[in-house]
């Protein structure tokens, strides 16, 4: 979605619209995000200054010391209270609203409180998610059944009504009392009680001590365009790495013709494999001495590009540096632009489908399983203890970015889909900036995704002749089932504004 329509009609700011839209998304797409999770906002003010507000979840004071021993060895959902990180969502909303909000805090909550209390027909995409075996069994066997099951204890279906009475009460209190109701008040106390009842380790001190991180965006050149990205532990550096690798190849609308199209996607796949090999570089700089600076360094990028052959690929992980960590799914994204020139690119998550499937009956909040994003480290260590640190944020693929052209154009863009975010956003940007597609077509174009095994997975309706050509070059095709990638964008160019919301999840843009 581009923004919450009613808030825009009330002349709210882009930040007001982003907060209201995310609050609404939390009840419409609860499998992806909510106030039990965290977000990253990239915000460009009207003077052109770009800041990143990072309020993703952190490691609590007490946690299972051999936590990473529970990490799955193949792709699967990480369920359970041991994966819950300290939620930052509401503290983050409070911070960005304090700096950039126009409307009263309580006003932002009104549409969602009404939806949650009165109920609404279950959205088609949520009904689809609940019908899938992986989600159906998860919901029916967990506390999530309290919200998403009917009287027969089976998941809700298309046409059923969905209500969140407890969450409506919680949101009403937060609307009146502010984020402190969650971080120092009774809502927090009730939440901690429910987490402990589920076997979790969070304490009130964890909530009280949560702080939003505010920093300058990293700004990197892409030809005549500047891209503002969130630094690590966000995924902006990996997105930049792929785009700058691809910018060094001749790209134009003719790159989509005949064999050139196969070559273009071959180069992209190789870039993605090298990006997979660099995933370990993405970590919390406050707690690690590893740096991701090289991922945006032209000399390193040129060195990697020289290793990309036009007529072959490689089966050896070592060729691409390291074996990457396992894949994951989840998240949601909104892009907002207002009449004053404020631009917001915001990605939010509870991590995997319905987080760790832990629901707080006292507050109506679904908790994240963000600590499972540390599982990449378990691939490289035989020592299970003290691999994560109190207060640390896990690595993330989240890449809410803002692109700025020399002529004054703006592109506010980001995506959801966990590990698919980088591919979905990179390909949308390439399609639009360099391959001549309009924004709608650029986002709608089927993507490919290079998974953690370096298999190439193709979204439905991907060009079959290109797939055949890539197989002939030696690429191995995977069988990824969960193309939950969505890209949302707003563009201002030559005095016109275009907002595009991905149709993959029946999204719609809104304006005033």
Q: Hey, which residues are catalytic here?
A: 331
> Is 67 exposed, middle or buried, given 0-12, 13-18 or 19+ CB atoms closer than 10 A?
buried
- Cα 322 from Cα 114, distance rounded (Å): 49
Give the contacts of 414 (CB within 8 A, at least 6 positions apart): 42, 333, 334, 335, 345, 346, 347, 398, 399, 400, 401, 421, 425, 487, 488, 489
Count of H helices and E strands in the chain? 17, 17
- Cα 340 from Cα 338, distance rounded (Å): 6
Is 56 flagged in the annotation as binding?
yes
- Cα 486 from Cα 501, distance rounded (Å): 8
Angle at 360 between CA 355 and CA 364, to 5 degrees: 95
Q: Residue 218 to residues 52, 292, 354: CA-CA distances in angstroms?
A: 9, 12, 31
Type and span of the H or E element at 486: strand 486-493
- Cα 500 from Cα 427, distance rounded (Å): 15
Tokens of 33: 């995000």
Cβ(325)–Cβ(419) below 8 Å: no
Is 3 flagged in the annotation as binding?
no
- Cα 18 from Cα 185, distance rounded (Å): 25
- Cα 214 from Cα 130, distance rounded (Å): 36
Is 349 flagged in the annotation as binding?
yes
Q: Residue 366 to residues 200, 224, 352, 354: CA-CA distances in angstroms?
A: 13, 43, 12, 7
Is 257 flagged in the annotation as binding?
no
- Cα 51 from Cα 95, distance rounded (Å): 12
Is 373 flagged in the annotation as binding?
yes
On the question of a cis peptide bond just before residue 233, with omega within 30 degrees of 0, the verdict is yes
Is 284 flagged in the annotation as binding?
no
Q: Is 41 helix (H, G, I), strand (E, B) or coil?
A: strand
- Cα 28 from Cα 167, distance rounded (Å): 13
Place of tokens 């997975």: 457
- Which sign, positive or negative, has the C-alpha torsion 363, 52, 340, 102? positive
Is 423 flagged in the annotation as binding?
no
Is 399 flagged in the annotation as binding?
no
The annotated binding site for L-glutamate is made up of 56, 349-351, 373, 396-397, 418
The annotated binding site is made up of 56, 349-351, 373, 396-397, 418
């Amino acid at each position: 979605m581009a923004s919450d329509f009613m808030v825009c009609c009330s002349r709210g700011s882009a930040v007001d619209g982003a907060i209201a839209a995310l609050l609404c998304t939390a009840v419409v797409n609860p499998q992806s995000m909510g106030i039990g999770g965290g977000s990253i906002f990239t915000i460009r003010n009207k003077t052109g200054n770009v800041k990143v507000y990072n309020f993703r979840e952190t490691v609590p004071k007490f946690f299972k010391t051999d936590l990473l021993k529970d990490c799955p060895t193949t792709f699967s959902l990480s369920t359970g209270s041991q994966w819950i990180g300290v939620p930052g969502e509401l503290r983050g909303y409070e911070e960005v609203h304090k700096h950039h909000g126009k409307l009263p805090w309580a006003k932002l909550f009104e549409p969602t409180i009404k939806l949650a209390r009165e109920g609404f027909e279950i959205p088609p995409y949520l009904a689809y998610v609940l019908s899938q075996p992986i989600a159906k069994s998860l919901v029916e066997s967990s506390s999530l059944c309290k919200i998403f099951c009917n009287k027969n204890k089976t998941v809700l279906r298309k046409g059923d009504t969905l209500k969140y009475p407890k969450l409506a009460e919680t949101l009403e209190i937060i609307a009146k009392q502010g984020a402190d109701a969650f971080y120092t008040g009774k809502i927090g106390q009730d939440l901690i009680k429910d987490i402990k009842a589920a076997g979790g380790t969070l304490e009130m001190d964890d909530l009280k001590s949560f702080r939003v991180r505010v920093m300058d965006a990293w700004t990197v050149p892409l030809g005549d365009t500047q891209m503002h990205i969130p630094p690590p532990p966000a995924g902006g550096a990996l997105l930049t790495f792929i785009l700058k690798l691809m910018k060094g190849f001749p790209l134009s609308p003719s790159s989509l013709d005949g064999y050139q199209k196969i070559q273009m996607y071959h180069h992209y796949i190789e870039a993605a494999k090298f990006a997979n090999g660099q995933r370990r570089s993405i970590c919390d700089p406050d707690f690690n001495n590893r740096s991701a600076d090289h991922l945006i360094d032209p000399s390193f990028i040129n060195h990697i590009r020289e290793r990309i052959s036009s007529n072959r690929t490689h089966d050896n992980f070592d060729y691409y540096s390291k074996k990457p960590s396992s894949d994951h799914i989840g998240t949601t994204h909104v892009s907002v632009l207002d009449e004053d020139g404020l631009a917001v690119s915001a990605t939010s998550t509870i991590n995997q489908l319905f987080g760790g499937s832990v629901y707080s009956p006292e507050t109506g909040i679904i908790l994240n399983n963000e600590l499972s994003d540390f599982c990449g480290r378990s691939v490289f260590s035989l020592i299970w203890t003290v691999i994560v640190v109190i207060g640390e944020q896990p690595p993330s693929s989240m890449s809410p970015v803002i692109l700025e052209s020399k002529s004054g154009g703006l592109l506010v863009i980001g995506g959801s889909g966990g590990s698919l975010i980088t591919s979905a956003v990179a390909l949308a940007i390439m399609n639009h900036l360099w391959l001549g597609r309009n924004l709608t077509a650029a986002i709608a174009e089927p993507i490919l995704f290079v998974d953690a095994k370096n298999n190439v997975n193709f979204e439905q309706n991907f060009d079959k002749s290109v797939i055949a050509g890539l197989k002939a070059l030696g690429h191995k095709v995977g069988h990824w089932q969960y193309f939950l990638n969505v890209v949302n964008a707003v563009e201002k160019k030559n005095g016109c504004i275009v907002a595009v919301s991905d149709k993959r999840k029946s999204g719609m843009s809104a304006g005033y």
